[in-house]
Amino acid sequence: MSHAIKYFGLNNIALEHDLRKVARDKKLQIRPSKTKSNRDAYYPQITERIRHDAAAMAEHYELFYCLEISIRDLIRSTLEEKESDWWDKLVPQCVRDNANKSKSRESQAGVTPRSTDPLSYTNFGELGEIIKANWKLFSDTFTELQAVQNTLARLNTVRAPIAHCSKLAEDEILRLRLSLRDWFRLME
């Protein structure tokens, strides 16, 4: 039941994204935004074009953020049901090694740890590896392993420009939306 609620929420975020696009196209304001003077007070050197592009990309980032966190939550809850020591016993060694390296790099840099949850230190592509390694546990949730892998690979490709501050082309925005629909369909 909790998965259904999460996916309901993700669908609502996707709908809100579409509503914002219509509002932007029609030059309507559906939610108050930060005022120009408030935004510019911190970094006036940043141009309005960059700020506009950032606002447009923020919608895609928010959508992907919600999706990625929900996938991590699904993995965590599914593996916790099977094994209390799930990280050490069910996550592939190479994924754990990469997570430990990421955690160590952050610790050595002296930054605030992002989380106490080791799953937070995995990259998006590794989430598919965890599902694949534990397919028997996930086969009740998803219809087909190859479809899960293909969908996650598409999402990972679309994720790159979002994560690396590049604008998404219209085709890639559509690909993101379709891939999200594919992801949800895999759980039906």
pLDDT tens string 73-89:
999 999 999 999 999 99
Query: Per-domain residue ranges for the chain?
Result: 2-185
Average pLDDT over residues 50-64: 91
Q: What is the pTM of this model?
A: 0.78
**Is the Cβ–Cβ distance between 63 and 16 less than 8 Å?**
no
Give 158: exposed, middle or buried? Use CB within 10 Å, 0-12, 13-18, 19+: buried
Question: Which tens digits make up the pLDDT trace of 32-50?
Answer: 555 454 555 677 888 888 8
The secondary structure of 24-64 as a DSSP string is: HHTT--SS----HHHHHHH-TTS-HHHHHHHHHHHHHHHHH
Longest dimension (CA), the chain: 54
